[in-house]
């Protein structure tokens, strides 16, 4: 009697749940996933508490639960937001691609130069972002690879605002956060290997303001610039 009950539980509950879990895990591993963002390194494009949608088929098809590529369609493009494993500590990070293989990238007083051309910036009123920010924060709209996106800087806490020209090696990428003075990125940990890139972050799926414990409805299902 007890064995029959256990067999029924296995057949009608445990086994179906395992199958569903395996299918969902496979889809998250190889097709689509989400990434929770706990820091402000991509402000104002991505805020703390955002959950971003990650398209894992944007660049290639991988063997589920591995980084082994079965088929490759294209490489990450300049200006796209990608999710990758940090070469510093292996954690998953979200940053913007600034330099692709062969690009010559440098930064002079917060202005980016890619292959000798300046990344155009236009000043923006910080108040337009509806965020509680100190007076020292400055904002601009920047264009990288045809992607028009906002960037932040902090005049009171400057990070690495300039660096000498570097050439991105084959199979590697230079990435940076949009919150330039509050981002641990390629300026500090170096280039990111193509094999370490998980996929492209394309949208904010949902967002929660944890300081006030309330959803940010206006950010649900919004595309990333």
pLDDT tens-digit series, residues 145-194: 999 999 999 999 888 999 999 999 999 999 999 999 999 999 999 999 99
Going by pLDDT thresholds of 50, 70 and 90, the confidence category of residue 29 is very low
Same domain, 37 and 73: yes
Same domain, 10 and 65: no
pLDDT at 61: 80
Concerning whether 3 is annotated as a catalytic residue, the answer is no
Same domain, 137 and 149: yes
Across the chain, what does the average pLDDT equal?
87
Residue 31 clears pLDDT 60, i.e. is over it: no
Residue 14 clears pLDDT 90, i.e. is over it: no
Same domain, 121 and 74: yes
Tokens of 142: 């920047």
Same domain, 101 and 156: yes
Per mean pLDDT, which range of 32-36, 118-122, 132-136, 203-207 is the poorest?
A: 32-36
pLDDT at 202: 96
List the end-to-end C-alpha distance of the chain, in Å, as a whole number.
61
Same domain, 89 and 8: no
Could you tell me the CA-to-CA distances from 66 to 30, 62, 77, 197 in Å, in that order?
8, 7, 23, 12
Catalytic choice (2, 3, 15, 41): 41
Going by pLDDT thresholds of 50, 70 and 90, the confidence category of residue 35 is confident
Q: What is the pTM of this model?
A: 0.88
Same domain, 19 and 44: no
Catalytic choice (56, 62, 95, 172): 95
Same domain, 164 and 109: yes
Same domain, 69 and 175: yes
Same domain, 150 and 174: yes
Going by pLDDT thresholds of 50, 70 and 90, the confidence category of residue 24 is very low
Tokens of 122: 């236009």
Per mean pLDDT, which range of 45-49, 62-66, 90-94, 152-156 is the poorest?
A: 62-66
**What are the pLDDT digits (tens) for 109-125?**
999 999 999 998 999 99
Same domain, 3 and 77: no
Domain range enclosing 120? 33-223
Instruction: Decide: 199 and 55 in contact? Cβ < 8 Å.
Output: yes
Distance between CA 157 and CA 182 in Å, rounded?
8
Concerning whether 15 is annotated as a catalytic residue, the answer is no
Same domain, 99 and 17: no
Q: Please tell me the total count of domains within the chain.
A: 2
Q: Tell me the chain's radius of gyration from C-alpha atoms.
A: 21
pLDDT at 12: 53
């Amino acid at each position: 009697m007890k064995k029959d009950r256990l067999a029924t539980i296995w057949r009608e509950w445990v086994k179906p749940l395992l199958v569903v879990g395996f299918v969902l895990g496979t889809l998250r591993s190889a097709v689509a996933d989400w990434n929770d963002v706990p820091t402000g390194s991509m402000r104002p494009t991505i805020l703390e508490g955002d959950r971003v949608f990650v398209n894992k088929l944007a660049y290639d098809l991988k063997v589920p639960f591995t980084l082994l590529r079965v088929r490759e369609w294209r490489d990450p493009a300049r200006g796209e937001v990608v999710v990758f494993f940090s070469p510093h500590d292996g954690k998953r990070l979200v940053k913007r691609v600034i330099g692709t293989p062969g690009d010559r990238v440098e930064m002079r007083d917060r202005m980016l130069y890619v292959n000798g051309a300046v990344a155009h910036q236009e000043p923006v009123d910080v108040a337009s972002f509806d965020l509680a920010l100190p007076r020292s924060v400055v904002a601009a709209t920047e264009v990288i690879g045809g992607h028009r996106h906002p960037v932040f800087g902090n005049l009171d806490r400057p990070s690495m605002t300039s660096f000498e020209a570097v050439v991105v090696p084959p199979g590697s990428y230079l990435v940076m956060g949009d919150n330039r003075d509050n981002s641990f990125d390629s300026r500090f940990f170096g280039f990111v290997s193509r094999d370490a890139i998980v996929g492209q972050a394309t949208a904010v799926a949902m967002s929660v303001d944890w300081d006030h414990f309330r959803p940010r409805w206006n950010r649900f299902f919004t595309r990333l610039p």
